[in-house]
């Protein structure tokens, strides 16, 4: 499955200037392979291909588009283990996490195969003029997709599937750490019947210039970005020049609140999922764990035991729960968060020190007594470090949970559903897990408020990000 060239207009090309960059295995620090690095000439070729493919695909019936997407789901589902191997190889995550990601990624094709036929419009009488108001949704045009390394398959399919469902061609720029998975998907899309030029993949070692060029090409109409808030802000500025339609999935700082009336075992299980899925390298990862003082001791003991039971190692090996982080800078950032928290009074209950040797490993770590001023309370940890704080007052914990510029996801654990719903509604987050540590679902609108993003992926909303609404005022 190792394709290493650019994928433009249905063909593998080495790139106009022949530049390449290395992709590493984070578990061994060895070079897996080198990949072609796209430049401006390649972006132009991809834009030409997308432009040429657009009209025919957009003119196909929704059912015809739907059937291609359905086939893509079938083909990907038949090859989940191969995708999982590749994801683990370039990202490092444990194989169970990679299998979970591959299945989740494939589901977007099935979900949007079903949504492709549901771009509902509307017709109604204008109240005063007597005209008819006809509303329809049309494909918005060429979409530029920029994705992060933490979910090399799913962050791509979550954009490609709705774009194709809506009728839009795409140019996807995967993260330089993990380009292989997206390249490996292309033969399957071809086999499913995606016409050449509809999906183009441009890995690059120079993302800023490449993406900026595309965002200033008048043929591009949509920017769909998943990544950090800092890069998202820059791309929002750049998309303003052409007034592009932006869909931004940015960073998070998820609070996880365990009330005194929670089922502690269920809360531990939910917290493990919310913290350790993808070894904490997730925008949805529980970044701040607030536990009511009455259950803090019981929760911390059980949670620490569950963290201690996780086995760290090369994610490709059997029985491994925690693979390496994606690269040295991510590992060093996680280590710095722990050092800062400890310097400000945190107690290390478990872990807290990167092992010697090859691979970007950091062990499952539990910190208690974390000061509100610690860096890990304000910034994304993006690693296997659980920062536990306590609270006694509901109003106080809601205020602390909301005291961030982020607003992606929050988690609440309580056995009192009335209280749970009241707290959920007070939380300034695009998504809330109530007695659940996992919210991601292709059928649900995923996305954040405040500086966690604009727009939604998945659900019905996901396809609408790639459409424009047209209103026709008619008389007959």
Relative to beta strand 385-391, strand 286-292 is: parallel
- Which residues fall within 8 angstroms of residue 253, CB to CB, at 6 or more apart? 287, 288, 378, 379, 380, 404, 406, 408
Phi, psi (deg, nearest 5) at residue 456: -135, 150
Q: Catalytic: 424?
A: no
Q: Residue 111 CA to chain centroid, in angstroms?
A: 17
- Which residues fall within 8 angstroms of residue 283, CB to CB, at 6 or more apart? 150, 226, 249, 250, 251, 252, 380, 408, 409, 452
Identity of the residue, 144 or 188, whose beta carbon is nearer to ligand NAD in the bound complex: 144
Residue closest to ligand NAD when measured from CB atoms: 227
Q: Which residues pair with 432 in a beta bridge?
A: 410
Q: Please, what is the minimum distance in Å from the beta carbon of residue 231 to ligand NAD? A: 3
Phi, psi (deg, nearest 5) at residue 401: -60, -35
**Cα angle: 28, vertex 34, 36; to 5 degrees:** 150
Report d(CA 23, CA 123) in Å as an integer: 52
Residue pair 448/252 in contact (Cβ under 8 Å)? The answer is: yes
Q: Which stretch binds ligand NAD (CB under 6 A): 82-90, 101-109, 141-149, 308-316?
A: 141-149
DSSP element (H, E) containing 123: strand 122-125
Identity of the residue, 119 or 201, whose beta carbon is nearer to ligand NAD in the bound complex: 201
Q: Residues 43, 84, 175, 412: which binds ligand NAD (CB under 6 A)?
A: 175
Identity of the residue, 26 or 453, whose beta carbon is nearer to ligand NAD in the bound complex: 453
Identity of the residue, 208 or 474, whose beta carbon is nearer to ligand NAD in the bound complex: 208
Identity of the residue, 169 or 174, whose beta carbon is nearer to ligand NAD in the bound complex: 174
Does 465 bind ligand NAD (CB under 6 A)? Our answer is no
Does 148 bind ligand NAD (CB under 6 A)? Our answer is yes
Does 250 bind ligand NAD (CB under 6 A)? Our answer is yes
Does 231 bind ligand NAD (CB under 6 A)? Our answer is yes
Q: Which stretch binds ligand NAD (CB under 6 A): 87-95, 104-112, 229-237, 270-278?
A: 229-237
Q: Which stretch binds ligand NAD (CB under 6 A): 43-51, 86-94, 250-258, 260-268?
A: 250-258
Q: Please, what is the minimum distance in Å from the beta carbon of residue 187 to ligand NAD? A: 22
Q: Residues 11, 123, 208, 301: which binds ligand NAD (CB under 6 A)?
A: 208
Identity of the residue, 228 or 402, whose beta carbon is nearer to ligand NAD in the bound complex: 228
Q: Catalytic: 283?
A: yes
Q: Which stretch binds ligand NAD (CB under 6 A): 192-200, 243-251, 340-348, 369-377?
A: 243-251
Catalytic residue among 90, 101, 249, 349: 249
Give 135's Cβ-side CA count (13 Å radius): 11
Does 27 bind ligand NAD (CB under 6 A)? Our answer is no
Identity of the residue, 420 or 442, whose beta carbon is nearer to ligand NAD in the bound complex: 442
Does 149 bind ligand NAD (CB under 6 A)? Our answer is yes
Does 255 bind ligand NAD (CB under 6 A)? Our answer is no
Catalytic residue among 90, 115, 177, 283: 283
- Which residues fall within 8 angstroms of residue 208, CB to CB, at 6 or more apart? none
User: Of 254, 50, 82, which Cα lies nearest the Cα of 184?
Assistant: 82
Q: Please, what is the minimum distance in Å from the beta carbon of residue 79 to ligand NAD? A: 23
Report d(CA 153, CA 86) in Å as an integer: 10
Identity of the residue, 137 or 158, whose beta carbon is nearer to ligand NAD in the bound complex: 158
Burial class (CB in 10 A: 0-12, 13-18, 19+), 273: middle
Residue pair 431/439 in contact (Cβ under 8 Å)? The answer is: yes
Q: Which stretch binds ligand NAD (CB under 6 A): 231-239, 263-271, 302-310, 414-422?
A: 231-239
Q: Residues 79, 196, 234, 436: which binds ligand NAD (CB under 6 A)?
A: 234
Q: Which residues pair with 288 in a beta bridge?
A: 255
Binding mask 259-298 for ligand NAD (x = CB under 6 A): ------------------------x---------------
Q: Which stretch binds ligand NAD (CB under 6 A): 223-231, 362-370, 396-404, 466-474?
A: 223-231
- Among positions 420-459, residues that touch ligand NAD (CB under 6 A) are 448, 453
User: Of 328, 327, 340, which Cα lies nearest the Cα of 377?
Assistant: 340
Residue pair 436/411 in contact (Cβ under 8 Å)? The answer is: yes
The percent of the chain in helix, strand and coil, each rounded to the nearest 5, is: 40, 20, 35
How many residues bind ligand NAD (CB under 6 A)? The answer is: 27
Phi, psi (deg, nearest 5) at residue 140: -75, -30
Catalytic residues: 249, 283
Residues within the interface to ligand NAD (CB under 6 A)? 146-150, 155, 173, 175-176, 207-208, 211, 226-228, 231, 234-235, 249-252, 283, 380, 408, 448, 453
């Amino acid at each position: 499955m190792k394709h290493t060239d650019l994928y433009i207009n249905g063909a593998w090309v080495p790139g106009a200037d022949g530049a390449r960059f290395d992709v590493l295995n984070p578990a061994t620090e060895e070079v897996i392979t080198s990949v072609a690095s796209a430049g401006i000439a390649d972006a132009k070729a991809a834009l030409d291909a997308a432009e040429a493919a657009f009209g025919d695909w957009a003119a196909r019936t929704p059912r015809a588009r739907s059937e291609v997407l359905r086939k893509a789901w079938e083909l990907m589902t038949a090859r989940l283990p191969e995708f999982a191997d590749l994801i683990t190889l370039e990202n490092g995550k444990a194989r169970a996490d990679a299998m979970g990601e591959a299945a989740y990624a494939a589901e977007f094709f099935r979900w949007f195969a079903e949504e492709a036929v549901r771009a509902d419009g509307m017709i109604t009488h204008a109240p005063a003029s007597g005209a008819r108001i006809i509303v329809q949704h049309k494909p918005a045009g060429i979409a530029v997709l920029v994705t992060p390394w933490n979910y090399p398959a799913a962050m791509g399919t979550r954009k490609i599937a709705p774009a194709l469902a809506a009728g839009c061609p795409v140019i996807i720029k995967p993260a330089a750490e993990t380009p292989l998975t997206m390249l490996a998907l292309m033969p399957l899309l071809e086999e499913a019947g995606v016409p050449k030029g509809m999906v183009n993949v441009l890995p690059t070692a120079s993302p800023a210039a490449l993406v900026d060029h595309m965002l200033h090409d008048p043929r591009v109409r949509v920017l769909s970005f998943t990544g950090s808030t800092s890069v998202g802000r820059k791309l929002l500025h750049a998309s303003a020049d052409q007034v592009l339609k932006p869909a931004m999935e940015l960073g998070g700082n998820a609070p996880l609140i365990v009330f005194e009336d929670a089922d502690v075992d269920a809360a531990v299980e939910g917290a493990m999922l919310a913290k350790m899925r993808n070894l904490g390298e997730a925008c949805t990862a529980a970044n701040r764990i607030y536990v009511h003082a009455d259950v803090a001791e019981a929760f911390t003991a059980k949670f620490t035991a569950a963290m201690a039971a996780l086995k760290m190692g090369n994610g490709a090996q059997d029985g491994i729960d925690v693979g390496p982080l994606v690269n040295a800078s991510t590992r060093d950032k996680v280590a710095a968060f722990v050092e800062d928290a400890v310097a400000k009074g945190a107690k290390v209950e478990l872990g807290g020190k990167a092992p010697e040797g090859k691979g970007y490993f950091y062990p499952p770590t539990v910190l208690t007594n974390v000061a509100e001023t610690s860096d890990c309370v304000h910034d994304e940890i993006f690693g296997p470090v659980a920062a536990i704080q306590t609270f006694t007052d509901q109003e106080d914990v809601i205020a602390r949970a909301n005291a961030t510029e982020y607003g992606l996801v929050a988690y609440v654990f309580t056995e009192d559903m009335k209280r749970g719903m009241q707290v959920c509604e007070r939380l300034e987050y695009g998504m809330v897990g109530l007695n659940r540590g996992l919210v991601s679902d292709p059928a649900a609108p995923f996305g954040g408020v405040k500086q966690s993003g604009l727009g939604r992926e998945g659900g019905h909303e996901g396809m609408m990000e790639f459409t424009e609404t047209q209103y026709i005022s008619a008389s007959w």
